[in-house]
A = this chain, B = another copy of it.
Amino acid sequence: MATDASVAPVLNTKPGIQSLSPFGAARSTVEGAPLTADELRKTNAYMRASLYLCLGMLYLKQNPLLKEPLKLDDLKARLLGHWGSDSGQIFTYIHFNRLIKQYDLNAIFISGPGHGAPAVLSQSYLEGVYSEVYPEMSQDEEGMRRFFKQFSFPGGIGSHATPETPGSLHEGGELGYSISHAFGSVFDHPDLISVTMVGDGESETGPLATSWHSTKFLNPITDGAVLPILHLNGYKINNPTVLSRISHTELEALFIGYGWTPYFVEGSDLDSMHQAMAATLERCVKEIKSYQKQARDSGKAFRPRWPMIVLRSPKGWTAPRDVDGHHLEGYWRAHQIPLPDVAKNKAHLKLLEDWMRSYKPEEVFDSEGKLIPELAELAPTGNARMSANPISNGGIIRKALHLPDFRKYALAVNPGITNKGSMSNMAEWLRDVVAKNLTNFRLFGPDETESNKLGGVYAAGKKVWMADYLPEDEDAGNLAYEGRVMEMLSEHTVEGWLEGYILSGRHGLLNSYEPFIHIIDSMVNQHCKWIEKCLEVEWRAKVSSLNILLTATVWRQDHNGFTHQDPGFLDVVANKSPEVVRIYLPPDGNCLLSVMSHCLESKNYVNVIVADKQDHLQYLDMNAAVAHCSKGLGIWEWASTFPDEDPDVVMASCGDVPTMEALAATALLRQHLPDLKIRFVNVVDLFKLISNDDHPHGLTDKAFDAIFTNDRPVIFNFHSYPWLIHRMVYKRTGSHNIHVRGYREKGNIDTPLELAIRNQADRFSLAMEALDRLPNLKNRGSMVREKLLEEQIMARNDAFEHGIDAAKYREWVWPYGPKEEGVIGAVQSKLGLGGDDQPAASVVGTSE
């Protein structure tokens, strides 16, 4: 097992300047010159047309064809946009067009490098799609003028591949997700090739770095192919990129290590680069086809070392190499506007004009501004054009799921007595969702599906695994080449796959531990922005919602410790636009079923569902659950006292564990104060609490007051940080009366039992909180308070006997004041507390 000689450890003492330069005649792994002289000439001309359009977008508001000499007035006053990666992307796009036509391919183009929109916009314009979608951006001089002017201009479009960009399903504002999006798009699209430009800056991000491993989850029979083109243009905003500054040996080894076959195309000389890229892309397409054919003909899936391309070309390729003694082409100065001072520097204005004219617009566009026919013919037609592929506007091809009727999966409920797992029950329904939608739905998660009690779905669709197998895999038997569950220990990758999957017209669900969902805060954030923007783009059809099921929730994370306790993802989501976010906290199993079914049917939302995975109390039969979830919140009359009367106090809850404790608190109060009028309210749909002015689900003030009253104390037991409720209700008349208890980042509850004890302490403190808020009770209140306190001291005694620390206990139990401390001290000394025995196993949840 000696190290391979050719990749043996060598000291990299001498910088490999020669091999790292992006300049010169093409150097490529694949040899050959497949283009005829005429094809070469046309390809070059098409590229010039596209590059000309890019510069036009960056600079011009008029004189689009440079029919007049370029003058200051022709320029936009504020120059914005990025030139750096445009040429390399255009180069790739054009060469892939040739293969689409030659091999009748079904392809989309994913633009990974940041701010590379001019490349794909110019291509879309040249192939006519842009004018079809936006008729005012016609293929003539005036249309071209508008097309230029709108770019990075008020009322126009941005500098990323935003939703307004035909053919785009990947905006690229935040970097790192091009490869995972691409894989998501090709799963269950066996004929699709997603041509994916990957920026070398983007490649440094964590999410991108691990997403190369996605090949271990792609089946060549049922899925299409991703063809990545790593674009080594060498620079980020202000630094070289790491991958452009390592040796050829390392770079090649890296991609072989990731499981790909890297083909290199390097250089700047246009003619030889065109030949090299034509030959290399063709080789890649043939390899892809050949692997697919082998697998499909034999019916035996395998993991090929799929082809990918490393394209090393100068940053800002085809720009002037040097300006005023500083490098432009091939340097980071070409990142954004290449000549930023043209408005002030006449020589630079002239330089820009010469540069633009060097693309010979008069040769490639006719006098009306239309691309000349011999070039227009180079692009594919109809939906074969990458910017017209309906897959990139997935809502168009989306088919509704065949959803089994969730009512048939109802838990039989003896309210408040049945103790069952909501999640494992829901898994049975989910299994059948999988079974009925075997090419249209996938379940995603970071190695937690089984732990999250959703393993039941494997009966309908196993876990996809295309890496190697060992004989012992038979033992559990849940891995398969073909499956419906996607698990990799990268929240970024599985979320990226899911996004790509739904944006290309399918359906899915991500399950994750609640505490670690913050890892993808930013991805969810960006997806919210994407779908919100899509609402404004007429031709974009709505896609399936991004469904995120959170479990292993904060209230059950005693055994995993403090690092595993954080319910704050809800705050991040609640900041997003009300048009696109929904948050549900079903209190029990039948509500979970109802909510999940609703979410899987919905479109264009980010749905977040929070539910416990352990056994817990069940309350509502299916009819009641459906009615409750349809309203989103409601009074639980069966849990209230004197439901026909105005309440003295409202006990409210949101979240399953908090609901259990709030009900227990209500029972305590009812026991000790049988004539107290308690209204019990449960909230499933969190946004019901917000004003209807601020969210479409929000209640009117009148409806809100009808449930919560506007003058009675509301004791609100909440799953997450309490402030989230306060910020939602601050506009309500009775907001001052709403007293919220929730998770607080205190006390370092990181050993078993502590959190369970804390949960149990809740019922006492909730009840006491209610008493505190009811001054009219006076002496009666005090008496009950003392009784409750005695009961709690007994419970606390149990806790101490189980090893709970007294200081911590006091910290958790909010309403303890000095008054009670005295009583506690007395009872404590009477009973002689402080034992140090074992916790009873039954007191706590099971572990994961």
Residue A487, interface by CB 8 Å:
yes
Nearest chain B residue, comparing its CB with the CB of A243: B213
Residue A490, interface by CB 8 Å:
yes
Known contacts A210-B206, A563-B171, A7 near B6 by CB under 8 Å? yes
Instruction: List, in ascending order, chain B residues with CB within 8 A of A467's CB.
Output: 240, 242, 245-246
Among B155, B206, B574, point to the contact of A490 (Cβ < 8 A).
B206
| Least distance between A2 CB and chain B CB atoms (Å) | 7
Instruction: List, in ascending order, chain B residues with CB within 8 A of A210's CB.
Output: 204-206, 208-210
Nearest chain B residue, comparing its CB with the CB of A307: B9
Whether the pair B78, A753 counts as a contact (CB closer than 8 A) is: yes
Chain A positions 696-723 with a Cβ under 8 Å from a chain B Cβ: 721, 723
Nearest chain B residue, comparing its CB with the CB of A515: B174
Chain A positions 139-160 with a Cβ under 8 Å from a chain B Cβ: 152-160
Among B1, B11, B12, B211, point to the contact of A206 (Cβ < 8 A).
B211
| Least distance between A203 CB and chain B CB atoms (Å) | 8
Nearest chain B residue, comparing its CB with the CB of A522: B518
Instruction: List, in ascending order, chain B residues with CB within 8 A of A414's CB.
Output: none
Whether the pair B253, A257 counts as a contact (CB closer than 8 A) is: yes
A interface SS class = loop
Whether the pair A521, B16 counts as a contact (CB closer than 8 A) is: no
Whether the pair A205, B490 counts as a contact (CB closer than 8 A) is: yes
Whether the pair B237, A751 counts as a contact (CB closer than 8 A) is: no
* B-binding segment of A92-100, A397-405, A526-534: A526-534
Whether the pair A754, B154 counts as a contact (CB closer than 8 A) is: yes
The copy count of this chain in the complex is: 2
Residue A15, interface by CB 8 Å:
yes
Residue A303, interface by CB 8 Å:
yes
Whether the pair A173, B564 counts as a contact (CB closer than 8 A) is: yes
Nearest chain B residue, comparing its CB with the CB of A519: B522
Chain A positions 375-404 with a Cβ under 8 Å from a chain B Cβ: none
Instruction: List, in ascending order, chain B residues with CB within 8 A of A77's CB.
Output: 838-841
Complex Cα spacing A470 to B176, Å: 26
Whether the pair A236, B447 counts as a contact (CB closer than 8 A) is: yes
Residue A449, interface by CB 8 Å:
yes
Instruction: List, in ascending order, chain B residues with CB within 8 A of A838's CB.
Output: 61, 76-77
Residue A779, interface by CB 8 Å:
no
Among B61, B216, B256, B519, point to the contact of A242 (Cβ < 8 A).
B216
Instruction: List, in ascending order, chain B residues with CB within 8 A of A563's CB.
Output: 158, 160, 171, 173-174, 526, 529
Residue A828, interface by CB 8 Å:
no
Complex Cα spacing A286 to B754, Å: 48
Residue A568, interface by CB 8 Å:
yes
Residue A21, interface by CB 8 Å:
yes
Known contacts A204-B488, A206-B205, A751 near B152 by CB under 8 Å? yes
Whether the pair A7, B303 counts as a contact (CB closer than 8 A) is: no
* B-binding segment of A472-480, A594-602, A608-616, A666-674: A472-480
| Least distance between A273 CB and chain B CB atoms (Å) | 14
Residue A516, interface by CB 8 Å:
yes
| Least distance between A25 CB and chain B CB atoms (Å) | 12
Complex Cα spacing A576 to B566, Å: 9
Whether the pair A78, B752 counts as a contact (CB closer than 8 A) is: yes
Instruction: List, in ascending order, chain B residues with CB within 8 A of A336's CB.
Output: 847
Chain A positions 235-261 with a Cβ under 8 Å from a chain B Cβ: 236-242, 245-259, 261
* B-binding segment of A42-50, A434-442, A623-631, A802-810: A802-810
Known contacts A9-B261, A331-B475, A839-B154, A525 near B536 by CB under 8 Å? no
* B-binding segment of A421-429, A679-687, A724-732, A818-826: A724-732
Instruction: List, in ascending order, chain B residues with CB within 8 A of A759's CB.
Output: none
Among B330, B560, B723, point to the contact of A727 (Cβ < 8 A).
B723
Residue A36, interface by CB 8 Å:
no
Known contacts A468-B15, A518-B525, A327 near B159 by CB under 8 Å? no
Most buried by B among A256, A451, A491: A256
Instruction: List, in ascending order, chain B residues with CB within 8 A of A471's CB.
Output: 17
**Contact string against B for A residues 827-847, beta-carbon threshold 8 Å, 1 for contact and 0 otherwise:** 000000000001111001001
Among B29, B568, B748, B840, point to the contact of A572 (Cβ < 8 A).
B568
| Least distance between A419 CB and chain B CB atoms (Å) | 18
Known contacts A304-B11, A468-B20, A577-B746, A155 near B804 by CB under 8 Å? yes
Whether the pair A572, B518 counts as a contact (CB closer than 8 A) is: yes
Whether the pair A305, B11 counts as a contact (CB closer than 8 A) is: yes
| Least distance between A805 CB and chain B CB atoms (Å) | 5
Instruction: List, in ascending order, chain B residues with CB within 8 A of A271's CB.
Output: none
Instruction: List, in ascending order, chain B residues with CB within 8 A of A465's CB.
Output: 239-240, 245
Residue A207, interface by CB 8 Å:
yes
Whether the pair B155, A561 counts as a contact (CB closer than 8 A) is: no
Complex Cα spacing A18 to B326, Å: 57
Residue A13, interface by CB 8 Å:
yes
Whether the pair B522, A516 counts as a contact (CB closer than 8 A) is: yes
Among B155, B330, B746, B751, point to the contact of A751 (Cβ < 8 A).
B155
Whether the pair A202, B489 counts as a contact (CB closer than 8 A) is: yes
Residue A297, interface by CB 8 Å:
no
Whether the pair B327, A173 counts as a contact (CB closer than 8 A) is: no
Nearest chain B residue, comparing its CB with the CB of A214: B242
Residue A302, interface by CB 8 Å:
yes
Instruction: List, in ascending order, chain B residues with CB within 8 A of A206's CB.
Output: 176, 205-211, 490, 492-493
Chain A positions 13-64 with a Cβ under 8 Å from a chain B Cβ: 13, 15-17, 20-21, 27-29, 61
Complex Cα spacing A170 to B693, Å: 46
Known contacts A160-B561, A468-B20, A493-B206, A264 near B1 by CB under 8 Å? yes
Complex Cα spacing A326 to B17, Å: 56
Known contacts A2-B29, A4-B7, A256 near B253 by CB under 8 Å? yes
| Least distance between A479 CB and chain B CB atoms (Å) | 7
Instruction: List, in ascending order, chain B residues with CB within 8 A of A572's CB.
Output: 518, 521, 568, 571-572
Among B15, B159, B211, B566, point to the contact of A469 (Cβ < 8 A).
B15
Among B80, B204, B303, B519, point to the contact of A489 (Cβ < 8 A).
B204
Instruction: List, in ascending order, chain B residues with CB within 8 A of A536's CB.
Output: 748
Residue A463, interface by CB 8 Å:
yes
Complex Cα spacing A3 to B21, Å: 19
Complex Cα spacing A71 to B237, Å: 66
Known contacts A153-B752, A516-B174, A847-B336, A4 near B6 by CB under 8 Å? yes
Whether the pair B20, A575 counts as a contact (CB closer than 8 A) is: no
Most buried by B among A7, A302, A463: A7
Instruction: List, in ascending order, chain B residues with CB within 8 A of A246's CB.
Output: 216, 259, 467-468
Between A and B, 7 residue pairs with Cβ closer than 8 Å are: A20-B470, A154-B753, A154-B802, A158-B563, A173-B563, A209-B209, A238-B450
9 more CB-based (< 8 A) A-B contacts, given A532-B745, A571-B575: A5-B6, A156-B803, A162-B561, A201-B489, A204-B213, A206-B493, A216-B246, A521-B521, A572-B572
Shortest 9 CB-CB contacts between residues of A and residues of B: A173-B563, A254-B257, A206-B206, A723-B727, A154-B803, A209-B210, A158-B561, A245-B467, A518-B522
